[in-house]
Amino acid sequence: MQKAIEHIRSRSRVQPLIGVVLGSGLGAFADELSDRIEMPYSEIPDWPQSTAVGHAGKLVVGSFGGLPVAVMSGRAHLYEGHSMDKVVFGTRVLARLGVKAMVYTNAAGGINLSYSQGALVLVSDHINLQGSSPLIGPNDDTLGPRFPDMSDAYDAGFRKRARAVAERLGIALNEGVYAGLLGPSYETPAEIRYLRAIGADLVGMSTVPEVIAARHMDVRCMAISCVTNMAAGILPRKINHEEVLETGARVRGRLVHLLQELLPEVAAEVS
Ligand code: HPA
């Protein structure tokens, strides 16, 4: 991690306060930063390359309305064959660079029948069904404790502010529980019925390991899912990645608008 940190520091003097991770097809927010330095992941030592279509693969450090932020446009997923260490590498580097808050975005399937395609959902909690954790193995005590608490993983203070901002902007923002699965196949209808029964409202293939790693390092987290499709078996049609990207593109503007108004609130909450 040290080499990556040194590389980023050599390219930008900005000391980010907030880290943002942009999911599939949701990369537009990175273009909003001023005085930005863009670092393709390929130029940062040890940074995992994202192979998923729709993921740009760059770290953008800059200022957003005077706020120092670091934006990861694209992320590594377990289904790409990356190790857990690689999947959470970006989160840990940003935490080491000093971010006090992480805002994750992702594309997700909607399980809750009250959601519709294109909805934005504030994640209130998660269910880890990836069969692993970024914290397995000897604990690195310099990062955090062996058994970190996860009872406020998706920060209640951030969520309160997010709900208020969405209301002010007239943006509908549901709230729900995100189930993180390994993928890369989409779920079967039976799996979706199971996920609904255990209390999941959303399903996706990311975010959960990153939030665990961030909470381990005592970084406060928020996550917003874009319901790019209704989950398997709900509608009489198949799910495909093109649809996920198309919906992401359609919702991008609304998400950028929400993030623009939300980041100053998150900054106020952590400083
Ligand atoms: N399932 C899992 N991950 C997803 C989905 C889905 O339906 N849509 C977008 N990411």
Please state, as a whole number, how many other Cβ atoms lie within 10 Å of the Cβ of residue 195. 23
Q: Select which of 38, 80, 187, 191 is catalytic.
A: 80
pLDDT at 101: 98
The pTM (predicted TM-score) of the whole model is 0.96
pLDDT at 56: 63
Whole-angstrom distance, CA of residue 92 vs CA of residue 74: 15
What parts of the chain have a pLDDT lower than 50?
none
Phi/psi region, residue 248 (left: phi>0; alpha: psi -120 to 50; beta: rest), is alpha
Do 16 and 97 meet the contact criterion of CB atoms below 8 Å apart?
yes
pLDDT at 1: 92
pLDDT at 29: 84
Whole-angstrom distance, CA of residue 267 vs CA of residue 133: 28
Whole-angstrom distance, CA of residue 152 vs CA of residue 240: 33
pLDDT at 252: 87
- Kindly give the distance from the C-alpha atom of residue 14 to the centroid of ligand 1, in angstroms, as a whole number: 34
- Kindly give the distance from the C-alpha atom of residue 13 to the centroid of ligand 1, in angstroms, as a whole number: 37
Q: Which domains does the chain have, with CATH numbers?
A: 2-270 (3.40.50.1580)
- Ligand 1 pocket test, pick from 24, 79, 186, 226 with the greatest ligand atom count within 8 Å of Cβ, gives 186
pLDDT at 244: 86
- Kindly give the distance from the C-alpha atom of residue 211 to the centroid of ligand 1, in angstroms, as a whole number: 18
pLDDT at 53: 63
Tell how strand 173-181 and strand 67-73 pair up. Answer: unpaired
Q: Is 257 marked active-site?
A: no
Nearest protein CA to atom 10 of ligand 1, as residue: 108
DSSP string, the chain: -HHHHHHHHHH-----SEEEEE-TT-GGGGGG-EEEEEEEGGGSTTPPPP-STT---EEEEEEETTEEEEEEES---GGGT--HHHHTHHHHHHHHHT-SEEEEEEEEEE-STT--TT-EEEEEEEEEESS--TT-SS--TTT--SS---TTSB-HHHHHHHHHHHHHHT--EEEEEEEEE--SSPPPHHHHHHHHHTT-SEEESSSHHHHHHHHHTT-EEEEEEEEEEEPTTTSSS---HHHHHHHHHHHHHHHHHHHHHHHHHHHHHH-
